[in-house]
Structure 1
Amino acid sequence: MKYINIASIPGDGIGPEVMNEGYKVLKALEELHGGLSFERNEFDWNCKRYLEAGEMMPEDGLEILKDYDAILFGAVGAPEVPDHISVWELILPIRRAFQQYVNLRPIKLLKGIESPLRYKSVEDIDFTVIRENTEGEYSNSGGKLHENTPHETVIQNSVFTRYGTERIVKYAFEYAKQKGKNKLSVATKSNAMNYSMPFWDDIVREISKDYPSIPFHLYHIDALAAFFVLKPEEFEVVVASNLFGDILTDLGAAVAGGIGIAPSGNINPEGTYPSMFEPIHGSAPDIAGKGIANPVAQIWSISLMLDHFGYFELAEVVLNAIESVLMKGDNLTPDLGGNASTTELADQIVNKILEG
């Protein structure tokens, strides 16, 4: 029996609702595989805890998490807690302490979902964005001067290191090679950001010499965003800095049908620390508690986790089950045009998983 130890952090809003459906999927996978067991511990680290105890997670939270095989995350955020607190005191410390420097997001139009882009099919929208996840524009470097005066000044620095840039670019080239892709697209803005982005571009050129069979193309971020809408079929693997990748992946999710179905993996490729898998839809407080949240992104995130651990066939089973239910069109949540509950949609997916 293979045991995978999972730390579960449901978080806020709809996070616990979709996480509960994720647990059903884990149980179904155990039944289907037979030799696999998911051992999980749930942690109530969220905005409610912050309001009660003044902290999003305990002081030794990272120490608690470090020996797990993986982390499943739901969502974080509540109207009563500023976003920069909920994010900077929970998600970002985990990503950084555990060197989850790859944010992996598939941009894939699932069968049964209609893209808002006219005439684009599932063959046209199917690529992966690899976002640098630990430095760049989100480096927590800067400060304020002369606060609350007419001369108030705010400085927000971007920090790009050779080490951090090389490893994400190498990962992107290697990912493209392993997946048999024919092109790597690179987000940049070297025509305006005259230090960080030319540095980024130079490192891309250096690393590319080790991958002569994979051509790359540098796109200015504004043009790249436009091409995501106009020509999504052009892309196979896209690599971007932290901020650019963050923006592009939400745009990509919208092109692929909406953020309610989009998953992500925060990957530590070396396996020194646990990787973390989460939907990108946020806590959605406006629908929390109504039982209508879309569970697909949380379930697809489990598929990404299986892929990360090398259970490629099981990962495919989960994704095929999602698409099968979406194509059938019954029991879809309101965001997909139906009137089913979170549980009704998830139960259909679980049933399909059990069919193998």
Structure 2
Amino acid sequence: MKTFNIAVIPGDGVGQETVPAAWRVLELAGQLSNAFAVRSHVFDWSCAYFQRHGHMMPENGLDLLKPFDAIFLGAVGFPPVPDHVSLWGLLLPIRRGFDQYINLRPIKLLRGITSPLCGYHPGDIDFVVIRENTEGEYSNSGGRLRVGTPQEVVVQNSVFTRFGTERVIRYAFNLARASRQSLTSATKSNGINFSMPFWDEVFQEVGEEYPDVKQVLYHIDALAAYFVTRPQTFDVVVGSNLFGDILTDLGAAIQGSIGIAASANINPEGQYPSMFEPVHGSAPDIAGKGLANPIGQIWTAKLMVDHLGFPDVGANILEAIERALEKGHKTPDLGGTDSTQSVTEAVMTELRHLYPPL
């Protein structure tokens, strides 16, 4: 049985509650399956750390993280530290420093949850969004001139490289080929006249190598509407950094709550550790109250288990989540009255039922 060393960063707000909860599920899954063990090293990097030290993580933070098999992150951001300071001080340096160019976010209507979209049932909504994660619209390129004057000028540059664009599109094509052979690309080439036509060209060029995969290009505004009006038609969706970010928050909404949304920041080549984080953010309004939904973090743990090479165990974690939801164990964001702890306990109970003693 292999032991994995995991860097754990609970971060801010509800991350301090959901990460320990999900870690309990992760440890239990390893024990019950007898497939793996996990050893944690907790880093207290957060906005509180920033207030004490003036930075979100030490200068050698990436060197400290590099030896680990994976990174398990909670949430980043908390007042009064500005969001751009917390984001650019911790999350983005890890994503880029470790070349985690794939951001994978599953969109799935789980059993036990009612979608805000009328007429949809579990199984109807089940697709994956692949977001380019290291360049595009979130590139650190631009500046401000004449700050504070009536003539102030702000320039924010998007950077799209052929290397970066092709590798994320190719990853999405391979994922679609292994799924239901359908890939949708998000674009806006009718309004953004350099980067988006380039994106479309690369999509079409790479697509020539995948004649077995259905290929569709949609403008981002139409695609957002289709997420609402016909989400059942999607298999794999690929988009740039900004488009993927926005689409996946919408995807979380149609699956019932952003509190259950999971994601993986992947370096497919394994040169660096990949990082796993829920999408919900630090939720300062409910932090410390025991109301945070742990499912996003637990589902994120499932993605990490998949990445480490145990998809069967990951499938059982998701099955345990769904069984707990079907029995009515829900936090307030899903219309229930359960606490973070009680939902976690319910998932662990269902996981034990999936691994009966010999």
| 1:34 to partner: Cα distance | 2.0
Aligned equivalent of 2:232 = 233
Q: Alignment partner of 1:119: what SS? A: coil
| Counterparts of 1:245 and 1:326, CA distance in 2 | 28
Aligned equivalent of 1:312 = 311
Aligned equivalent of 2:184 = 185
| 1:35 to partner: Cα distance | 4.0
**Does 2:336 align with 1:338?**
yes
Moved over 2 A (4+): none
| Counterparts of 2:14 and 2:240, CA distance in 1 | 29
Which residues in structure 2 correspond to 1:192-231 (within 5 Å)? 192-231=191-230
Aligned equivalent of 1:91 = 91
TM-score by length of 1: 0.98
Which residues in structure 2 correspond to 1:140-289 (within 5 Å)? 140-179=140-179, 181-289=180-288
| Counterparts of 2:331 and 2:124, CA distance in 1 | 25
Letter in 2 for 1:249: T
Q: Alignment partner of 1:56: what SS? A: coil
- For residues 111-159 of structure 1, the C-alpha deviation after alignment (integer angstroms, 9 at most, x for no partner) is 0000000001222211000000000000010000111111001000000
Which residues in structure 2 correspond to 1:109-124 (within 5 Å)? 109-124=109-124
Whether the 8 Å CA contact 1:126–1:236 is kept in 2: the answer is: yes
| Counterparts of 1:34 and 1:233, CA distance in 2 | 36
| Counterparts of 1:260 and 1:138, CA distance in 2 | 24
| 1:272 to partner: Cα distance | 0.7
Letter in 1 for 2:114: E
Letter in 2 for 1:217: V
Letter in 1 for 2:307: H
| 1:215 to partner: Cα distance | 1.8
| Counterparts of 1:158 and 1:124, CA distance in 2 | 35
| 1:16 to partner: Cα distance | 1.0
Whether the 8 Å CA contact 2:11–2:75 is kept in 1: the answer is: yes
Identity of aligned pairs, percent?
58
Superposed CA RMSD: 0.8
Q: Which runs of 5+ in 2 are unaligned?
A: none
| Counterparts of 1:337 and 1:220, CA distance in 2 | 34
**Does 2:295 align with 1:296?**
yes
| Counterparts of 1:314 and 1:158, CA distance in 2 | 40
Q: Alignment partner of 1:128: what SS? A: strand
Whether the 8 Å CA contact 1:144–1:154 is kept in 2: the answer is: yes
Which residues in structure 2 correspond to 1:18-167 (within 5 Å)? 18-167=18-167
Q: Alignment partner of 2:288: what SS? A: coil
- For residues 147-172 of structure 1, the C-alpha deviation after alignment (integer angstroms, 9 at most, x for no partner) is 11110010000000000000000000
Q: Alignment partner of 2:32: what SS? A: helix
Aligned equivalent of 1:349 = 347
| Counterparts of 1:261 and 1:272, CA distance in 2 | 29
| 1:99 to partner: Cα distance | 0.6
Q: Alignment partner of 1:18: what SS? A: helix
| Counterparts of 1:151 and 1:56, CA distance in 2 | 33
| 1:350 to partner: Cα distance | 0.9
| 1:39 to partner: Cα distance | 1.0
Q: Which runs of 5+ in 1 are unaligned?
A: none
| Counterparts of 2:35 and 2:315, CA distance in 1 | 18
Whether the 8 Å CA contact 1:22–1:299 is kept in 2: the answer is: yes
| Counterparts of 1:335 and 1:215, CA distance in 2 | 36
| Counterparts of 1:57 and 1:176, CA distance in 2 | 37
| 1:29 to partner: Cα distance | 1.3
Q: Alignment partner of 2:141: what SS? A: strand
| 1:340 to partner: Cα distance | 1.5
Q: Number of residues paired by the alignment?
A: 354
Q: Alignment partner of 2:139: what SS? A: strand
Whether the 8 Å CA contact 2:184–2:218 is kept in 1: the answer is: yes
| Counterparts of 2:121 and 2:353, CA distance in 1 | 27
| Counterparts of 1:37 and 1:122, CA distance in 2 | 32
